[in-house]
Amino acid sequence: MNEIAVETSENTFLPGGRRRHRKARQQGTGTGLRRALVLAIAAPMTTAALAGTSAFAADNAVAKTAKADGLDADDQKMAANLETRVLDQRLGSNVSGVVLDAGSDATIWGHNASTALMPASNAKLATSTAALTVLGPDHRFTTKVVYGHGTLTLIGGGDRTLTSADLAELAKTAVAGLKAAGLTTVKVHVDDSLFPEPTLADGWNDGYYPDTVAPVRALVVDQHGVQDTSIDAGQVFAKQLAAQGVKVTGDVTRAVASPKDVPVARHKSGPLSAIVQTMLQHSDNNIAETLLRMTALGAGRPATFEGGTEVLRHVLSGVYGVSLDNFVLHDGSGLSRNDRVPAATLAQILELLTQPRYAPTLGSILKGLPVSGDAGGTLSPAYGRFDGEHSKCAVGKVHAKTGTLTGAIALSGLTQGKDGKWKVFSFIENGATADQNATKDAMDDLAATVNGCYA
């Protein structure tokens, strides 16, 4: 993947300059910030208290924006082209879009920018921001094995990247301990009590299970898309114990480990920063929903859709000053058909990535954004992206999160404009009747227009 390395591009990608419409209410990051979040979220919050003043309460006409902000000729041309191309029939009539200049106060172009539409997987930008802020980019998720009363209990810790190889290492350590104690027979339990019993989010349908998204549990192996990922992981673990000479009696069952059980083995995931990059590159719904719950727990809230989105709202508004006008989110993945997010809000989230002070915390979001034409993500040729007559010129030049549901397509990201300056953009359409691939091509054309190669 062609990455924009935060640590090597501060002079180009991470410009200084005035911020458009907000000041972060919390300047600190790291442990102090997370403690402040726990304290702040402990008090009941209301939607009214969280909603900031929107910078996009009224969308300026292109000419007015150009005159007010003194846009240069390239930006004026880009804005004029967008004003025409957003009317492309492939996009339908329900389109929201905005383009911001990363290094100034300029809103280059807006079209229904404050209108809240289904964001699809662009919601993962908000989930990533909240998770990295609350947990920290170096956070790792721990899977444990404990022993008590003839039973090994595999305890889930919210690691959605756990593999069978990781379980094999846990089994190896556990078997060594058992044999040292003269034990050759055990039962196996799984403890996934870190999360409550899975439920459907508001706006989900049960047809999502288990292929589009698995029921959200704290224990899973190899990203298996099954109804009960915890029992499945326990069965894999039991087979590995048996393969190493320990007899497992009975079925794998669910039970809460006792505090008196003896720790036997543990596995730590890779850092959250790497997990976020994987989630964004592949638009992984399961990782997103798991991170939403772990974020809730990190801020002292219940590991539920409601607890996670409560924390997410507080992070966006209370920590970063992002406007939550017309913002409704019911999950972490964007699968909910009842989610509603304005393009303006997504652009504000992405604009945070252009500020050097947030790079240590949020830099992995930037690194995780798929790159146009790159084979490693959802903007790859395999998905038919940036291969059209007008958009192929932007291959390798656009860093953006995709979003696709039936009746909703979104593309939000960053690109270097014709003037060499970084632009933040967000485009969302709902209800287009054209072939979905044609609508995606039209979206790619808009991004190429922002880049300036489609002039």
Going from N- to C-terminal start, the domains of the chain cover 6-137+275-451, 142-270
- Predicted pLDDT at 352: 97
Residue 288 binned pLDDT confidence (cut-offs 50, 70, 90): very high
Provide CB contacts within 8 A for 207, sequence distance 6+.
Answer: none
Q: Is the dihedral of CA 118, 113, 18, 450 positive or negative?
A: positive
- Predicted pLDDT at 104: 84
More confident residue, 64 or 376: 376
Provide CB contacts within 8 A for 435, sequence distance 6+.
Answer: none
Instruction: Report the percent of the chain where pLDDT is more than 90.
Output: 81
- Predicted pLDDT at 89: 97
Provide CB contacts within 8 A for 101, sequence distance 6+.
Answer: 75, 107, 108, 421, 422, 423, 424
Tokens representing 264 are 């036997």
Residue 68 binned pLDDT confidence (cut-offs 50, 70, 90): very low
- Predicted pLDDT at 328: 98
Which of 52-61, 150-159, 324-333 is least confident? 52-61
Looking at mean pLDDT, say which of 19-23, 102-106, 364-368, 418-422 comes out highest: 364-368
Contact 310, 45 (CB under 8 A): yes
Residue 4 binned pLDDT confidence (cut-offs 50, 70, 90): very low
Label residues 290-303 b or e (16+ Cβ within 10 Å = b). Answer: bbbbbbbbbbebeb
- Predicted pLDDT at 33: 57
Instruction: Report the percent of the chain where pLDDT is more than 70.
Output: 85
- Predicted pLDDT at 206: 86
- What is the rounded distance in angstroms from the CA atom of residue 242 to the CA atom of residue 250? 12
Question: What number is the average pLDDT over the span 133-160?
Answer: 98
Looking at mean pLDDT, say which of 67-76, 104-113, 186-195 comes out highest: 186-195
Name the helix (H) or strand (E) containing 342: strand 341-342
Which of 292-296, 317-321, 373-377 is least confident? 373-377
- Predicted pLDDT at 71: 86
Question: What number is the average pLDDT over the span 413-435?
Answer: 95
186: amino acid identity, one letter? V
Distance set, CA 421 to CA 20, 164, 208 (Å) = 16, 45, 41
The phi, psi pair for 353, rounded to 5°, reads -70, -15
- Predicted pLDDT at 44: 37
- Predicted pLDDT at 34: 57
Q: Is the pLDDT of residue 152 over 70?
A: yes
Report the SS3 class of residue 62.
Answer: helix
The pTM score is: 0.88
CA dihedral 338, 429, 352, 30 (to 10 degrees): 30
Report the SS3 class of residue 364.
Answer: helix
pLDDT in tens, 19-53: 444 444 444 445 555 555 655 555 433 333 333 33
In terms of CATH, what superfamily is 6-137+275-451? DD-peptidase/beta-lactamase superfamily (3.40.710.10)
- What is the rounded distance in angstroms from the CA atom of residue 311 to the CA atom of residue 81? 39
Tokens representing 286 are 């399961």
Report the SS3 class of residue 417.
Answer: coil
Q: Which CATH number fits domain 142-270: 3.50.80.20, 1.20.120.80, 3.40.190.10, 3.30.460.10?
A: 3.50.80.20
* pLDDT, mean over the chain: 88
Distance set, CA 13 to CA 17, 200, 216, 366, 420 (Å) = 12, 39, 36, 10, 10
Using a 10 angstrom Cβ sphere, with 0-12 exposed, 13-18 middle and 19 or more buried, the burial of residue 152 is buried
pLDDT in tens, 237-278: 999 999 999 999 999 999 999 999 999 999 999 999 999 999
Q: Is the pLDDT of residue 447 over 90?
A: yes
Beta bridge partners of 262: 147
Residue 106 binned pLDDT confidence (cut-offs 50, 70, 90): confident
Quote the distance between the C-alpha of residue 425 and its chain's center: 17
126: amino acid identity, one letter? A
